[in-house]
Chains A and B, each alone.
Chain A
Amino acid sequence: MSEIVLEGVTKVFDDGYEAVKDLNLDVADGEFVILVGPSGCGKSTALRMIAGLEDISSGELKIDGEVVNDRSPKDRDIAMVFQNYALYPHMTVRENMGFALSLAKVDKAEIDRKVEEAAEKLDLVQHLDRKPANLSGGQRQRVAMGRAIVRDPKAFLMDEPLSNLDAKLRVQMRTEVARLQSDLGTTMIYVTHDQTEAMTLGDRVAVMRAGILQQVGSPEELYARPRNLFVAGFIGSPAMNFMAAEIIDGKIRLPIGEVDPAHVDGLELPIQGKVVAGIRPENFEDSAIVPDATKAERGVLFEADIDLVESLGSDLYAYFHIESEGVQSDQLADLVGERLAETGAAGRREGHEQIVARLEPTSKVRRHQKAQLWADTAKLHLFDPESGERLGGR
């Protein structure tokens, strides 16, 4: 167990590509930190630098207070689980899990004891003498984890360990990983591109984009107070809705109506001019369901032409569009590919913004009909359209 500190860690590849830029991150002893971001954001490179598989171009990496930049992976006492598991195919499960210990010249009986202990934790006891080729994907994944925990290392590094599993197994293994980490209490750094994994697993989540750390914080913090457009759009599913807005004469003018800034939580004026407004899908509601008292107190009522309704039983997603000049931002452009696949929010048209609203399942909203909706603007997020930074207060 130990603390891992990255100070200004930068990675420049031979071809001049800067994969990680000035990364500062403190991972406390026993903490579970998630590095998350779209593919190519540098999160895996960062992890590999911690493991010692990539050289650090500049900056310092400290494990337990010692600078380890120049130590080879074997001298860092860190275990890593690879995305593709990287099991040794010519060894049995037992040999795979005991390999690190046998290299460390631990005696045979001790290795057997530790391997069996780990196998029990991971439900692999009956597979100990099989070869990886004869195991299922989930079992291989567990062997890869077993190989890491047998060693009792200072820290675990996990490089998208669940991304090769099918959806059902992934959810199952996700809880398994969470349980393991809390049982073992070992420092863990976990890389993923899946924001759901990030939100559900970590004590803290570090969001990266294009090699730059965007924000570090607890999942709740990232969700409630995203520091910029990228984090706002990346965290949460379905993604936050964005619309162009303007602040004139002390009023926020949204395409769906006017809002008094005093009613927005945590907003400190003065802000003037054009802004980007963000509202999460769950902050919309069918007006018929919202109590009149609440409607009188805050929020915006508006009418929308519903394009599509998806009923999931527990929730009801209503898709509609609003007239808007469109939100242009590099940060959001990075997200488009990521999120389109996830939310199916296709069909962007010029001059329209597609909006997703998560409504109560009892809502009577129907496809191709006009609906009276209410937006809880107390949860409104405002961003600078140029820099993408969060505006207004804390």
Chain B
Amino acid sequence: MKVGAREYSLWTIAIALVLIFALVPVLWLLSISLKPASEVADGRIIPSTFSLENYKSLFEGGWSASPFLHPLVNSIAIALITTVIAIVLASFTAYAIARLEFPGKRIILAGALAIAMFPPISTVGPLFDMWRAFGIYDTYLGLIIPYLTFSLPLAVYVLVAFFREIPWDLEQAAQVDGATPWQAFRKVILPLAAPGVFTAAILVFIFCWNDFVYAISLTSSDNSRTVPAALAFFTGESTFTEPTGSIAAAAIVVTIPIIVFVLIFQRRIVSGLTAGAVKG
């Protein structure tokens, strides 16, 4: 497609505006995190003095005393475990939905969609009571279960779309070549659905990583509290100082894993991986 010079520059301006809109708050956060406590409220985007004080305070005291290290590890562990379970379950489910005819297929899809639209906050109260009765309140499992409930429908939807794109003939070719259904799935279908798998993985990971409602309601200690919830418990140096600087620093730190995660998997999300399989 040929893009005219005029159109090109209009697009450039539009994209620049969106980028500025999205990135200015992040820059602001970065700037605050680099300011010493006394200058936090000075309103300058470029700090007059750079200090790593806020970052140091996050990790001060090491494993036992730091208010941040435990939640960071919790966040990473819970998000990763949820992502792995969700992707494995969702890829089986999505494969069945995309390939097989079975009764209740529509109900499963409709149910998944309904759950995805359900407001999480309405489940918090019952879950709180149930989890305490079951003894999984303030545990990894207590967070992983609700995260799975909400991320599975999302992952299933994404994967069904990708599986449907894969020509059925490929799988049949594999069967004729002597593959069991499982081998055909693992060696032919899954590698081809990789972009979909990674897309779903990123979405699930981000969902778990960013959740605040469940994290604050279903945890009570560093046992399982994740970063978004832990930030709310940050304290200033004294009762009267706001912990703005350290919250900003923590926010910057928790953004890094997401960026890394997306950058790693983004390379895999290339469309046209199935090119050349079948003659259109």
Which residues of A line the B interface, CB within 8 A? Answer: 51-53, 72-74, 78-80, 82, 84-90, 99-100, 103-104, 131-135, 137, 140, 147, 151, 164
Residues of chain A contacted by B177 (CB below 8 angstroms): 74, 79, 99-100, 103, 147, 151
Residue in contact with B277 in the complex, picked from A53, A87, A99, CB distance below 8 Å: A87
B175 A72 Cβ-Cβ under 8 A: yes
Q: How long is the Cα–Cα vector from A34 to B150 in the complex, in angstroms?
A: 54
Instruction: Report Cα–Cα, A78/B191, bound state, in Å.
Output: 25
B220 beta carbon closer than 8 Å to chain A: no
Contact of B276 among A78, A99, A103, A133 (CB under 8 A): A133
Name A53's closest neighbour in chain B (CB-CB).
B172
**A80 CB contact (under 8 Å) in B173, B272, B276:** B173
Whether B176 lies near A80 (C-beta < 8 A) is yes
A sample of 16 more A-B contacts (CB under 8 A), given A74-B177, A86-B173, is A53-B175, A73-B175, A74-B175, A84-B167, A85-B278, A86-B278, A87-B173, A88-B173, A89-B274, A99-B187, A100-B178, A103-B178, A104-B178, A133-B275, A140-B276, A140-B279
In-complex Cβ contact of A87 among B183, B187, B276 (8 A): B276
Which residues of B are in contact with A by a Cβ distance under 8 Å? 167, 169-170, 172-180, 183, 187-188, 191-192, 272-279
A86 with B178: CB separation less than 8 A: no
Task: Kindly state the separation between the CA atoms of A188 and B160 in the bound complex, as whole angstroms.
Answer: 37
Q: How far is the CB of A110 from chain B (nearest CB, A)?
A: 15
Shortest beta-carbon distance from B26 to chain A in Å: 37
A74 CB to closest chain B CB (Å) equals 4
Name the residue in B188, B192, B278 with the highest tally of chain A Cβ atoms < 10 Å from its Cβ.
Answer: B278
A-B contact pairs, 22 of them (CB 8 A): A51-B172, A53-B176, A73-B172, A73-B175, A74-B175, A74-B177, A80-B172, A80-B176, A82-B169, A82-B172, A85-B277, A86-B167, A86-B172, A86-B277, A88-B173, A90-B191, A99-B177, A100-B177, A103-B177, A103-B183, A147-B173, A151-B178
A74–B275 CA distance with the chains assembled, in angstroms: 26
Q: Which residues of B contact A99 (CB under 8 A)?
A: 174, 177, 187
**Contact at B179–A88, with CB atoms within 8 Å?**
no
Q: In the assembled complex, which residues on chain B have CB atoms less than 8 Å from the CB atom of A85?
A: 277-279
Cβ A74 vs Cβ B176 within 8 A: yes
Question: Are A135 and B276 interface neighbours, CB within 8 A?
Answer: yes
Q: Are B279 and A88 interface neighbours, CB within 8 A?
A: no
Chain B residue nearest to A76 in the complex (CB): B176
Using Cβ atoms and an 8 Å threshold, which residues of chain A touch B178?
Answer: 74, 100, 103-104, 151
Top 8 A-B pairs, shortest CB-CB distance? A133-B276, A132-B276, A84-B278, A86-B169, A100-B177, A86-B173, A89-B277, A133-B275
CB atoms of B174 and A84 under 8 A apart: no
Report chain B residues within 8 Å CB of A80: 172-173, 176
Q: Which residues of chain A come closer than 8 Å to B173, judged between CB atoms?
A: 80, 82, 86-88, 147
Q: Bound complex: CA of A82 vs CA of B277, how far in Å?
A: 11
The answer for the CA separation of A164 and B275 in the assembled complex, in Å, is 16
A151 to B177, CA, bound (A): 8
Residues of A within 8 A of B167 (CB): 84, 86
Task: Tell me which of B175, B183, B188, B272 contacts A88 (CB under 8 A).
Answer: B188
Q: How far is the CB of A151 from chain B (nearest CB, A)?
A: 8
Question: Considering the chains assembled together, what is the distance between the CA atoms of A135 and B279 in angstroms?
Answer: 11
Closest chain-B Cβ to A141's Cβ sits at a distance in Å of 9
**Known pairs A74-B176, A103-B178; A90 contacts B169 (CB<8 A):** no
Tell me whether B274 and A74 are in contact (CB under 8 A).
no
CA distance A88 to B175 in the complex (A): 12
The residues of B that contact A140 with a CB separation of less than 8 Å are 276, 279
A75: nearest chain-B partner, CB-CB: B178
Candidates A84, A135, A164; contact of B169 at CB < 8 Å:
A84
B194 to chain A, nearest CB (A): 8
Contact A137 B279 (CB under 8 A): yes
A134 touches B276 (CB 8 A): yes
Min CB distance B170 to A, Å, is 5
In the assembly, what is the distance between CA of A135 and CA of B274, in Å? 14
What CA separation (Å) do A147 and B180 show in the bound complex? 18
Give the distance to chain A from B49, nearest Cβ to Cβ, in Å: 54
Q: Which of B174, B175, B183, B275 contacts A89 (CB 8 A)?
A: B275
**Known contacts A86-B169, A103-B183, A133-B275; is-contact A78 B176 (Cβ 8 Å):** yes
Chain A hits for B179, CB < 8 A: 74, 103
Question: A90 vs B175: C-alpha distance in the bound complex, in angstroms?
Answer: 17
The minimal Cβ–Cβ distance linking A150 to chain B, given in whole angstroms, is 10
Cα of A108 to Cα of B127 in the assembled complex, Å: 55
Nearest residue (CB) in B for A144 is B173
> Could you say which of B192, B276, B278 has the most chain A C-beta atoms within 10 Å of its C-beta?
B276
Q: Are B273 and A89 in contact (CB under 8 A)?
A: yes
Give A89 to B274 CA distance when docked, in angstroms: 6
Given contacts A85-B279, A133-B276, contact A51 B192 (CB under 8 A): no
Given known contacts A82-B169, A103-B183, A51 and B278 CB-to-CB distance under 8 angstroms: no
Complex Cα gap A164–B180 (Å): 29
With known contacts A132-B276, A137-B279, A88–B176 Cβ distance under 8 A:
no
Most chain A CB atoms below 10 A, which of B170, B180, B183 = B170
